[in-house]
Every structure is written in structure tokens, then in C-alpha cells.
Amino acid sequence: MTEQSPFANDRDQSLGVELRAALDTADTDAFIGRLKTAVANAGAETSWDVLAAWAPRGLVAAVAAAGLIWLIDLPSAPQAPTALMASAPIQIEVAPSLPEAVVITVAVMEGR
């Protein structure tokens, strides 16, 4: 017996026959019958079945998301709507005119 090269493309026919025989049993036909029945009972899955399977989870997720959004939004919700008040123009208080002459004279005479 010589070693086969790992690069060989040939199939080992004898090994194949023996492997098939080793892995087969006499009840193959009965197994195929059971398999066909199981597949027939399982039925094909349509896209609606997939959606239906997801629906309860999707519904729960949607409710949870809505609740989360409501909670996040809660602090701002009770505030009463307020009118936008126009801010008063800032005015710098500056005397519109110079003090009168008598006020200046009295101040000088009194040494203030």
C-alpha cells in the first residue's frame, strides 16, 4: 500500500463503497418515507408566515419604542405653552443733556 498524494484528484472507489455500506442501514426506504411525511407536514413557509412569526415581537418592540419616546419627552410635556416675548431693547441710561449752570455753580462754591 502506498500513500496517495494530497494533490491527487482521484477518488478512492473502494473506500467509497465501504463508507457507503458502513453508513447505510437496511431501513433506508422506510426512512425516506418518514422524511417525506415530515416535510409534507411541515409545509412550505410563505413570506406571510415569516411576517406572522415576527408580528408579536414586532408589536412588542413598537410599543416599547413608543413608551421610550414618551418617557424621554415627558419633562417638556407639562410646560404650558408660552408666548414668545419680545425682548425689550436694552437702553443705556445717559443723561439727555448737560446739568444746568446753577447746579454747577453751587457745587463749585460749596467746594464739592
Residues that bind other proteins (CB under 8 A): 1-25, 28-29, 31-32, 34-36, 38-40, 42, 44-45
Element (H, E) at 98: none
Compute the least distance from the CB of residue 82 to other proteins, in Å. 57
Q: Which is closer to other proteins, CB of 8 or CB of 102?
A: 8
Compute the least distance from the CB of residue 31 to other proteins, in Å. 6
Taking CB atoms within 8 Å and a gap of at least 24, the contacts of 62-66 are none
Q: Which is closer to other proteins, CB of 35 or CB of 55?
A: 35
Q: Is 85 exposed, middle or buried (0-12, 13-18, 19+ CB in 10 A)?
A: exposed
Compute the least distance from the CB of residue 69 to other proteins, in Å. 35
Strand residue runs (E) in 1-83: none
Which residue in this structure is represented by grid cell 433506508? 28
Q: Which is closer to other proteins, CB of 52 or CB of 68?
A: 52
